[in-house]
Amino acid sequence: MAEYRLDSVRDTVTHVFSRELPAVLTVDPGDTVVVHSLDSSGHLKRQRTPGEATPRMFEGLRGHCLAGPIAVRGAEPGMALAVRLESLRPDDWGFTAAASADTPLNRRLGLADADPAWLLWELDADAGTGTDQYGHTVSLAPFLGVIGMPPAEPGEHSTTPPRAPGGGNIDCRELVAGSTLFLPVTVPEALLCVGDGHAAQGDGEVSGTAIECGMTSRLTLDLETAPPVPTAHAVTPAGRITFGFDQDLNEASAVALDAMLTWMMSLFGLDRATALALASSTVDLRVTQVANQVWGVHAVLPAGAVR
């Protein structure tokens, strides 16, 4: 199997999803790509003070600054693209912003008219820590916020909301190194785009940003012709995960749980009602993110929960 390198330069990045974008790299199933992605805002130089305006890849950024698209030979709708996250290394700085937009949550928290707050982080990937300008230190657990393919419909599409087919801006903190994310293929050759590195994030991504950073990711791409679940799902160090995305939190929760029941029926040879009974003792429902126009919920069947 071959290994490739993809750096984020003007000809290898996008800030929209579109099936009409030409691939910047084409690989075979089983190949590995080492990708360096810029932070979600596409900063070309690091901030020296919190919130400092520095040059960016795109003027008038419409979405996340993503590397790609990467074409995978043989990928077709009906398959799942398996993205194995071999390693994830954040760059040496990152930022977090809060109260930077007028959102329903910020209005509810009394922050709609507040001045934005910025944290500027020094990141030590070897030590696994990040320290902000106030001296707060947190443990790092790096992951990519966006791993996704364009919708099947033509035209340009926002990178902000995650989508049941193709994934995208999932923002799930469990997708750390050692995870494999399975995404339903939406278009021929997949046209995968990745980026939006997060050095650390809590469930919810409650301010709308995590520790946003550039990231070097080693990804192995493969195809699954008979996925056990028809929607996005993952196998992670924490366990098996299914996802739900919807403007209604109840529906997002039901979608994630529905997919998990389908998986458990296959894994354990259960009928649906019995799978639900077993899930009630073992499966966690977590709010993935509240920041991306639709609610994200993930259902987690912890590793070793059922023996």
| Single pTM value for the model | 0.96
Cis peptide before 69 (omega within 30 of 0): yes
Burial pattern 5-35, b for ≥16 Cβ within 10 A else e, equals ebebeeebbbbbbbbeeeebbebebebbbeb
Whole-number pLDDT of residue 101: 84
**Are 38 and 105 contacting, i.e. CB atoms less than 8 angstroms apart?**
no
19 to each of 65, 144, 219, 250, how far by Cα in Å? 17, 21, 21, 31
Q: Quick check: 67 and 195 in contact, CB under 8 A?
A: yes
What number of residues does the chain have?
Answer: 307
pLDDT of residue 286: 98
The DSSP secondary structure of 220-237, one letter per residue, reads EEEEESS-SSSS-EEEET
Q: Which structural domains are found in the chain, ordered by start?
A: 3-224 (2.60.120.580), 233-302 (3.10.28.20)
Amino acid of residue 157: H
| Distance, CA of 95 to chain centre | 17
Backbone Cα Rg of the chain:
19
Per-residue pLDDT of the chain (307 residues; tens, 9 = 90+): 899 999 999 999 999 999 999 999 999 999 999 999 999 999 999 999 999 999 999 988 899 999 999 999 999 999 999 999 999 999 999 999 999 888 889 999 999 888 999 999 999 999 999 999 999 999 999 999 999 999 999 999 999 999 989 999 999 999 999 999 999 999 999 999 999 999 999 999 999 999 999 999 999 999 999 999 999 999 999 999 999 999 999 999 999 999 999 999 999 999 999 999 999 999 999 999 999 999 999 999 999 999 8
Calpha distance 194→14 (Å, rounded): 10
Q: Which of 17, 31, 29, 30 is nearest to 68 (CA)?
A: 17
